[in-house]
Amino acid sequence: MIDLHSHILPGLDDGSQNFETSLEMARLAVESGVIAMVATPHCVGDRTRAVRTAVLLLRDMLQEEGIPLRLYMGMEIFGTADTARLLLDKRLFTINNSQYPLIEFSFHTSGAEETRILREVLEAGYRPLVAHPERYDYIQEDPELVNQWMEMGCLFQVNRGSLIGRFGDGARQMGMELVKRGFATVVASDAHSPTKRTPWMGDVRELLTEEVSPAAAEFLLLRNPRSIIRNEELPPVEPEWF
């Protein structure tokens, strides 16, 4: 599996707080079948230098410790009116320098401002991967927004925690709905620690394999994330998978 959303870098946000914890998270991910991970600390403004330094340091440590996890640069960008401009100025990282930025929004707003921000990012030439839409109040209340954003060209990342029920029934149902209707592009851990919101992906792979299909699990956990990291177009969805 390839995990596109993690807070594995130490000391940059509410995720890992030291390198020891980061290594513990990496070991757990590998044990559950993850081969590559994108480090996506929360970012609003320019934090490129801090993120790059932390990724390079952690990569060295992974190698020293013999942990077979490939680590890529990324950010979980909090979408604002400045996002498109900062992306164009290269002051925000997309996922592994691809055309795909991971963008999150506030949990409780109307969705109107978000639509404007996504449109600007698309017009700037990027394809936004919207982080955990199933967790946003306004999406749960008005799922039609997902349809609108998809038609604009957006992609969607569903959280493992939502699907296994960690964020309540609303997020679980919405997450499953996005997967089963073929809206979800990838499922990722959004891991914050080795004990609470962990990078363990084995359970969600099992769940997707059993409740949807083995092909859908592979599509969401390996094929699509791999295409995004390689900055390729995404493989077409086969309706019989869902």
Query: Where does this chain bind Fe ion (CB under 5 A)?
Result: 76, 190
DSSP string, 103-150: EE--SSS-SHHHHHHHHHHHHTT---EEE-GGG-HHHHH-THHHHHHH
Residue 120: CB minimum distance to Fe ion, A: 22
Nearest to 156 by CA among 226, 212, 104: 104
Q: Residue 66, CB half-sphere, CA atoms under 13 Å: how many?
A: 0
Nearer to Fe ion, 24 or 190 (CB): 190
User: How far apart are CB 58 and Fe ion at their closest, in Å?
Assistant: 17
Structure letter (DSSP) for residue 239:
G
Nearer Cβ to Fe ion (76/134)? 76
Distance of CA 23 to the CA centre of its chain: 20
Question: Least distance from C-beta 73 to Fe ion, angstroms?
Answer: 15
In angstroms, the CA 34 to CA 70 distance is: 9
- To the nearest whole angstrom, how small is the minimum distance from the Cβ of residue 7 to Fe ion? 6
Residue (58 or 188) nearer to Fe ion, CB: 188
Burial of 149 (0-12, 13-18, 19+ CB in 10 A): buried
Whether 63 and 56 have beta carbons less than 8 Å apart is answered as no
Least distance from Fe ion to the Cβ atom of residue 16, Å: 12
- Nearest approach in angstroms of CB 76 to Fe ion is 5
User: Which residue number, 29 or 212, has a Cβ lying nearer to Fe ion?
Assistant: 29
Looking at the Cβ atoms of 40 and 227, the one nearer to Fe ion is 40
CA dist., res. 99 & res. 231, Å (int): 6
Contacts of 175 (CB under 8 A, 6+ apart): 134, 158, 159, 162, 163, 184
The residue with its CB nearest to Fe ion is: 190
**Nearer Cβ to Fe ion, position 102 or 217?**
102
